[in-house]
């Protein structure tokens, strides 16, 4: 006859073994996918950003395509990254203002749009 205290360790071992089996199965499927397979399954514009992260044009193109397909958060994070590396880009501030407006963050939007208008250069043209 087994007691309750003897069953508890066996149940724990079974649960740990089941969790370990799930982790091994999941990790195995991830390991089977090579880096090039991963790049082929994602957005080609984003793949270009990953392949050449210093390419300004690729990054701008990705941000614009993310905004066009409604992925506002991705577009914002990409434009914020561009603004971090080059704070003199008025077009980036303009785009951030538009995107924050679309999210309903009007104070943030107003701040970016005002600074974009105050910057010299082609800020009003969007780039």
- pLDDT (tens digit, 9 = 90+) per residue, 35-56? 555 455 566 667 776 667 777 8
Q: How far apart are the first and last CA of the chain?
A: 78
pTM over 0.75: no
107 half-sphere exposure, CB direction, 13 A CA radius: 0
Give residue-wise pLDDT tens across range 16-38: 555 444 454 444 444 444 555 54
Helix axes 56-68, 72-85, angle to 10 degrees: 150
Mean pLDDT of the chain: 74
- Element holding 6 (H helix, E strand): helix 4-31
């Amino acid at each position: 006859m087994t007691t309750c205290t003897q069953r508890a360790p066996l149940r724990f071992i079974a649960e740990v073994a089941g969790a370990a089996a799930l982790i091994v199965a999941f990790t195995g499927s991830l390991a089977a996918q090579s880096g090039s397979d991963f790049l082929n399954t994602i957005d080609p514009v984003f793949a270009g950003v990953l392949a050449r992260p210093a390419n300004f044009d690729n990054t701008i193109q990705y941000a614009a395509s993310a905004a066009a397909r409604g992925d506002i958060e991705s577009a914002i994070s990409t434009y914020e990254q561009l603004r971090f590396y080059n704070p003199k880009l008025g077009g980036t501030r303009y785009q951030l203002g538009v995107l924050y407006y679309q999210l309903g963050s009007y104070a943030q939007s107003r701040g970016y749009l005002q600074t974009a208008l105050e910057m010299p250069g082609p800020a009003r043209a969007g780039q």
